[in-house]
Structure 1
Amino acid sequence: MDIHSNEYKIASLSDDEQTINAIKAAEAAIASLTGKEVTLIAYERTDSLKQ
């Protein structure tokens, strides 16, 4: 998969345990509902577009 955007970049969340746990919980809930494993990707605006 190749996802490009000049407006957004993949968010660096390695130091944000609470957010990572929320994303993992959402992935598990979606997998439970659909029967398919999913991976959620967090994006953030690039510096040039932050308001």
Structure 2
Amino acid sequence: MARKKRAKELQPNIKVRLDRRTVITVRDEEKLAFWKEKYPELEVLES
């Protein structure tokens, strides 16, 4: 008999605007800190 698959417990992605036309999605706070170093004026759109 087949076993039921467990649903993955995922964190919501974080949508970030780097400059006026570039929007990216990052997975966690560690990646957000990485992009914050490169683009100090980044803006978090959704978390």
Fold similarity call, TM over 0.5: no
Larger helix percent: 1
Bigger RCO of structures 1 and 2 (CA < 8 A, at least 6 apart) = 1
Quick check: which has more Rg, 1 or 2?
2
